[in-house]
């Protein structure tokens, strides 16, 4: 716990659990649960990274996690399927039933099937921003590790914000208010 205290003093505010099978070996979920419980005394959040087909299997585990849970990249939805379809609907339903579940509306460059300017990802991101305004975060995946399809234009990714959060109020929540509550709540 001394090491966790040192990390907290240095500004760390969360831990990330990676469930993307092509990137990591399986880790017993009990280990993740113990880690999540240990960091709660520090007020840290848990970030989970997984792919959409694994959501049904992970849902019971996600519901067991204490504190705020942040899903990376909207759970990597298949953007070739309808935003109102059952696949993405499962994630939206989980957000609706878990008030401690947040998501990052990030990584259109990885989720896109169409390529820049990521028109196919906008409806998914915008739906989450408009529906769960107080529990969404924006970010990039800079420096874009393991990207094979194209080199993302970071300026285009910043310009993308206005397409997914089209009002000043939505942008304020996405870019300022929500990150302040999550990372700097003591300020």
- Please list the active-site residues: 141
Residue 44 contacts residue 16 (beta carbons within 8 Å)? no
Residue 67 CA to residue 98 CA, distance in Å, equals 11
Residue 175 burial by Cβ neighbours in a 10 Å radius (0-12, 13-18, 19+): middle
DSSP H helices in the chain: 2-9, 29-40, 55-64, 86-97, 108-111, 122-131, 154-159, 161-164, 168-172, 178-183
Residue 1 CA to residue 23 CA, distance in Å, equals 28
Please tell me whether residue 45 adopts helix, strand or coil conformation.
strand
> DSSP letter at 54?
G
Give me the sign of the Cα torsion angle 19, 81, 88, 129: positive
């Amino acid at each position: 716990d001394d090491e966790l205290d040192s990390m907290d003093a240095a500004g760390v505010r969360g831990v990330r659990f990676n469930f993307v099978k092509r990137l990591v070996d399986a880790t017993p979920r009990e280990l993740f649960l113990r880690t999540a419980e240990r960091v709660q005394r520090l007020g840290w959040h848990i970030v989970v990274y997984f792919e959409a087909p694994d959501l049904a299997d992970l849902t019971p585990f996600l519901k067991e996690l204490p504190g705020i849970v942040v899903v990376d990249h909207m759970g990597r939805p298949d953007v070739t399927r309808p935003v109102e379809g059952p696949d993405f609907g499962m994630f939206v339903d989980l957000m609706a039933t878990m008030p401690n579940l947040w998501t990052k509306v990030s990584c259109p460059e990885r989720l896109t099937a169409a390529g820049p300017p990521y028109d196919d990802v906008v409806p998914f991101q915008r739906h989450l921003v408009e529906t769960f305004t107080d529990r969404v975060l924006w970010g990039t995946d800079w420096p874009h590790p393991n990207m094979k399809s194209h080199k993302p234009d970071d300026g285009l990714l910043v310009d993308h914000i206005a397409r997914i959060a089209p009002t000043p109020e939505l942008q304020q929540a996405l870019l300022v208010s929500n990150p302040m509550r999550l990372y700097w709540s003591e300020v």
